[in-house]
Chains A and B, each alone.
Chain A
Amino acid sequence: MRAPGRPMSRLTRRELIRRQVAAGGAAAALLGLGAEAPARAATAGGAPVVLTLFGLPTRLVGSTEITAAYVLLLVHDVLARPDWNTGTPVPRLAERWSRSADGRSYTVVLRPATFQDGRPVTADDVKFSYEFYLHPQYPLADEALLEIDGAQAYKQGRAPAVSGITVVDPRTVRFTLTRRYAFFVEGILGAEIMPKHAWTGVDMGRMLEHPYARRPVGAGPYRLTDWKQNDSMTFDAFPGYWNGRPAVDRAVVRWIPEPATLEAELRAGHVDAAVILPDDFPAFQRDQRVRPLRMTAEYCYWFGFNHKHPFFQDVRVRRALAQAVDRETMVRTLARGYGRTVNSIIPPQAPLYNASLTGHRYDPAGARDLLREAGFAPGPDGILQKDGRPFRVRYNFLSEKRYQDVGLVVQQYLRDVGVDITLGPLERGQFFGRFWQPANAPNIEMVGLSYYVLWPVEPLQASLEGAFLSTTQWARNLQYSNPEVDGLLREAAQAVDAGALKTIYYRLQEVLVNDVAWVVLYRPDELWALRRRIEPPPVHELAQLFDSVARWHVT
């Protein structure tokens, strides 16, 4: 053991003071240096516009992150995409396209457009991009793209190229499908076009290590010029964009995790666009420095059941639980009124949303009746019982505050009708890694989650199939298998025209509500505020806001 405490012989007091002064002086110098630091360094063309997101993507190639989808809207463009409001196809990199008589072949003519490195967008680039997304080693598979003739064989490594994509001339591409497909524009024309020459020498097994993965080159309005992982991404305008030079020269997307910090920065002017908590939104509506923006969220909250569980097999029980929950009050309590109850996962603004569906009304008495019909009777402690077995189930969810709150409210309502649910939050890794897997399906009882539908960026068909088609993972997790639903989804893919599709989708939504595949709760609003100097065109969802950055009017 050391023995401190005896007088030091070497270090004199003078030396000591000298050291302390030196240290203090350095600190003072640091603090005294520099006058008022400017809030933003001015760049050519004015201060950059700073947007914030709830996270930043970790990768831009082969990514399934929502944040990547938003950011890629700035960098890339697609051949065509449905209009954000009406759903009618809007040509983008494609100037026009025509369909063959048998409906299986589409000839697409490209407009004269250039990539951000100056090279023109050609049919070769189109074919390359689609083959990239269909490559055996590309980590994701797109059901819509597999409708292209020869895509399946190429994906399985049995063919060297996709036979269904033909380069007719440098500005014309022909897509040949395996059969008539109702979602050609939404599902197939919506893939980002990448330059073939930028990907030279790529080893598809290690595509993320290629320089392109960190600095993608696209045909969109903005070029990614700086990327500080998990901190910020900087985008500079591409003057040669086919739709005209973007109005905003430089856009920065930042991630600030703490909501209070974010709101303070917005008020102080250090960021230009930020999401606002519902309780704080009224204050922002009154604040002269900012412009409130109330949009619809791109997800809805829902809870579901294991359809093979003895209790939940009976549709009366499922209906009872759906009726036991007061969704209107839920919106008022959890979202302070900023949201709307919905009966379908399809976004309300989509033309194919069935607005005539009434869904399940809040009716606790009716719920108790249904449960009684189903054979349940109140036990000694008030909890319903059937054959001596109490109605006590586990309700698992992702351990984030918003899902906890939904779960707590659902728990309270269900308790009022005699159903006792035990809340089981699961951390992300456990939830997606262990719990939410088909192999674990027998152990799932109830689950509460949200579902993103990024229409029109992604086709509705994919979202619906992903949730309810009996062969896809989510349906298997909940052991949901409804032949009528499967049949309608198959029919939809083959629908001859928009009218037929609408009929099929309307019927599908009706079936899903009556069968209570999920209890869809509500779709919150996406509340944002922008600094006054920013004036975006009218937008109603976040993806659209990002898509519109090039057209923001900034003073």
Chain B
Amino acid sequence: MGWYIVRRLVHAVPILVGVTVVTFAVLAAAPGDPVLMMVAPEQQNTADLAALRAQLGLNKPLPVQYAVMMTNLVTGRLRSFRERRPVAEIIGGALGPTALLAGLALAAAAIVSAPVALVSALRPYSALDHVVTMFSLLGIALPSFWFALVLIFVFTDRLTWLPASGLRPEGVAGYSPALVWPYLVMPTIVLALSILPLLVRYARSALLETLHEEYVLVARAKGLTGARVLGRHVLRNSLVPVVTVLGLVIPGLLSGALVVESIFAIPGIGRLTVDGALARDYPVVMTTTVVGAALVIVSNLLTDVSYAFLDPRIRFD
């Protein structure tokens, strides 16, 4: 097992390098000049654009720029074009909120989807199952930002129960749960609901498979009651596919976070990525993409590892 993890981590390195190369290529090819983005249009004839460009290292040939950027990235010295602050600092600050939000949403979605999917899979094509499937399809098709705005209207505007923006009250340092929780309620619900339907559908498909395996029929044939079959055989095995699909929705979480962070004014990674790209802040874009890719790789790895942990007979290729 240990070797497996090490091997996967080693494999992750060339993948991340590939990610940086593709990202750099896209940045280099994209129209738009970071220097011009930083200077207001009214000032562009008076500003010293050449000096700015040299400051940012943009006057060097592309391979050199790539090498410099990678070196700085790895040593943590990479600085944002706009703020001239280390990107590590900027992203470090933004990672917390996104991680908190995504983690909570994932947990909430998992907790809700497991029993729903199980019940649905136990009685496939029944009325209940149809209702669940319909709701899942509706949920998938519902734009999350519409739903978010409705929630805000009801709970902030009309009822004034919950705040609609930020993560903590003014002037507060740190993220103590007691103060932070009202700010997380709506964003978590929206984000969880954005992955819930898919999660339920995946889990249901996976569970359907499990439930129809021959061993269940055999167990039933042997005379074991439904509950015992369920408890001893099905529940444990059903965990495996559900855990797998959790890993599948994590990239969906990251993209859902983008929209949620924008609506609820949460200073997370999602917003940082969009702003960075729009402002041609290459260091920020590169770092957020690498971080995002790393997150996906790690979540895949965790899924596979917990997979193996749950079923020790699984072989890996």
Contact = CB atoms under 8 A, between A and B. Distances in A.
Direct contact of A and B (CB under 8 A): yes
Contacts of B209: 5
Interface stretch (B12-20, B68-76, B160-168, B294-302): B160-168
Contacts of B310: 8, 11
Given A5-B213, A6-B313, A229 B43 contact: no
Given A5-B213, A30-B181, A31-B181, A229 B90 contact: yes
A137 B51 contact: yes
A206 B93 CA distance: 23
Interface string A265-298: 1011111000000000000000000000000000
Given A4-B314, A27-B107, A433-B33, A265 B46 contact: no
B10 interface: no
Given A6-B237, A40-B171, A58-B83, A258 B265 contact: yes
Contact of B149 (A230, A260, A265): A260
B65 interface: no
Contacts of B181: 30-31, 33-34, 37
Contacts of B57: none
Contacts of A466: 42
Contacts of A30: 177, 181
Nearest to A472: B45
Interface residues on B, range: 35 or more
A265 B156 contact: yes
B44 A473 contact: yes
Nearest to B33: A433
Contacts of B213: 5
Given A59-B84, A261-B152, A264-B157, A37 B169 contact: yes
A261 B164 contact: yes
B179 A37 contact: yes
Contacts of A24: 111
A262 B157 CA distance: 10
B7 interface: no
Contacts of A213: 84
Interface stretch (A248-256, A385-393, A489-497): A248-256
A43 interface: yes
A268 B182 CA distance: 14
B201 interface: no
Interface in B141-160: 149, 152-153, 156-157, 160
Interface in B33-76: 33, 36-37, 39-48, 51-52, 55
A187 to B, nearest CB: 14
Given A264-B152, A474-B42, A208 B215 contact: no
Nearest to A289: B160
Contacts of B178: 33-34, 37
A230 B160 CA distance: 25
B272 interface: yes
A128 interface: no
A538 interface: no
Contacts of B39: 64, 139-140
B153 A48 contact: no
Interface string A142-157: 1100000000000000
Interface stretch (A96-104, A178-186, A332-340, A424-432): A424-432
A504 to B, nearest CB: 22
A45 B32 CA distance: 47
B2 interface: no
A8 B165 CA distance: 45
A16 B309 CA distance: 13
B31 interface: yes
Contacts of A250: 171
Given A16-B236, A229-B93, A260-B152, A434 B275 contact: no
25 contacts: A6-B215, A6-B237, A7-B215, A27-B111, A33-B177, A33-B181, A37-B181, A38-B169, A38-B179, A40-B171, A58-B83, A59-B82, A137-B51, A139-B47, A209-B85, A230-B275, A250-B171, A252-B170, A258-B265, A261-B152, A265-B164, A271-B165, A429-B31, A429-B279, A433-B36
- Closest CB pairs A-B (n = 6): A429-B32, A34-B178, A64-B40, A141-B46, A208-B84, A473-B45
Interface of A: 2-11, 13, 16, 23-24, 27, 30-31, 33-34, 37-41, 43, 47-48, 50, 58-59, 64-65, 136-137, 139-143, 205-206, 208-209, 213-214, 228-232, 234, 250, 252, 254-258, 260-265, 267-271, 427-430, 432-434, 436, 452, 466, 472-474
